[in-house]
Structure 1
């Protein structure tokens, strides 16, 4: 990368200037820019991150003798991209609230996996809102009449269990994602692979809910097979033409 700027941190420079310091690890800060290779895009993306130079050695014993040595290995770890990378393609028809939470997760994926999971959990709550799953219900545990029973906030788990029948098949996927998201909320140690697991689950759900095949959309809207819908439309068309001719 000819445009890579990669420099030692101030602390690393001080250590390198000290002859008595251990120099087997050198911490760095880098920046670089990338350009999308798709002709219709060409977007420029800026990246910053941290780097690490480590001295590593090897020892190889074989029939022909012994080979050993050492070398420097450089590792660059991105922490932020602007604009953020799309970890998966969000369906075009996804509700704005869900889309916003997903993109918020993408923004912090490299710098803060825990917060990325928090945003995914928010995406699930927004998805429940979009599917019109209640946030609160009358607290029937209270020995009062239904009119005076206070409202009780439903947990995300309870909301997922209340999914409409047409989306009930996604319960297991959403519950699995909820358990992953809980770890981020509770401050448990999170790895990027955990977030990627959450992305895979959510991508499948969003594709199923917001990327319906046009045929499925047509059937759902008319609540009937396409052949019946076409017959209905043909009948209505003839009726309209007849009315026009009569007038």
Structure 2
């Protein structure tokens, strides 16, 4: 099943339109069910002083304008936390003849937006590192990618894959790549998950080495890691198979009636 949070975040990454009624679905980090809406009169945006100073430049165009914004979002559920948003503004020329429009590009959500709907029996440290990636996703995608990579390291720790190897009575550090390969050998039933983890590792490596990681690249890694956790920790498929087998055995008869049937004579 597709990760719907990632779908929403990809739309947000394109920037929020000037008209808040046109904003995409922004998932609530508290209930993870409803969408957030703008608290009335909470949206504040202003042009930067350095942007205004550029007006006198002989080659100035409106798309040079930039600034910042902040606002508050709320869920329709009163028990959910409000979300503070801070970001940048820019100006672009709308192609449908509406002229120049302001675009809001978020840098921080507090609390952070969710990346994964359900972690199942996933270890706490793995979950914490994935959630930590969300806190910096918009402002520093490279750091977010590296935090997802560290979640894979924690996953290897949880499964007892050592961080160090031994050769000729000497120990040496095992790279994450080698650890994933060892995991695949030791637990072949998770071979598909191991192959997916390599992709997350490579994205994290690129972020560490200064490559131009984008939000979309991180969201790709999130989808892959989400599927990895599904392969390893999601037991819902087995539960559904058990229920189906039980219904077949009862030939569809409700369980409550089945248990109340008289016992046949010996």
Instruction: Name the TM-score, length of structure 2 as normaliser.
Output: 0.68
What corresponds to 2:52 in structure 1? 13
Aligned to 1:109: 137
CA shift in 2, pair 1:40/1:207, >3 Å: farther
Q: Is the 8 A contact 2:115 2:131 kept in 1?
A: no
DSSP 3-state at the match of 1:47: strand
Mark the CA change 1:70 to 1:95 in structure 2 (over 3 Å): closer, same or farther: closer
Unaligned runs of 5+ residues in structure 2 are 1-19, 21-40, 247-266
Query: Structure 1 length normalisation: TM-score?
Result: 0.73
Q: Distance in 2 between matches of 1:195 and 1:57?
A: 29
Q: Kindly provide the CA deviation profile for residues 16-42 of structure 1, in whole angstroms up to 9, marking residues without a partner as x.
A: 4x48571422111000111123x3753
Asked if 1:201 corresponds to 2:224, the answer is yes
Question: 2:75 is matched with which residue?
Answer: 36
Tell me if the contact between 1:15 and 1:23 (Cα under 8 Å) persists in the aligned partners: no
Q: How many residues align?
A: 201
Contact residue 90 and residue 206 of structure 1 kept, 8 A: no
Q: Give how far 1:166 is off.
A: 3.2
The unaligned stretches of length 5 or more in structure 1 are 59-68, 143-148, 220-225, 227-247
CA distance 1:214–1:55, shift in 2 (3 Å): closer
Maintained 8 Å contact 1:113/1:190: yes
Q: Which has the higher strand share?
A: 1
SS of structure 1 residue aligned to 2:84 = strand
Please list, as runs of the form range in 1=range in 2, the aligned pairs for 1:8-157 lying within 5 A after superposition: 8-16=47-55, 18=56, 22-24=60-62, 25-37=64-76, 39=77, 41-55=79-93, 71-139=99-167, 142=168, 149-157=169-177
Aligned to 2:198: 175
Contact map agreement 2:193 2:232 (CA 8 A) in 1: no
Q: Kindly report the root-mean-square deviation, in angstroms, between the aligned alpha carbons of the 2 structures.
A: 2.8
Higher relative contact order (CA 8 A, sep 6+): 2
CA–CA separation in structure 1 for the residues paired with 2:115 and 2:142: 16
* Cα pair 1:4 1:33 within 8 Å, conserved: yes
Q: Give the drift of 1:96.
A: 1.5
Q: CA deviation at 1:108?
A: 0.6
The answer on 1:158 being equivalent to 2:178 is yes
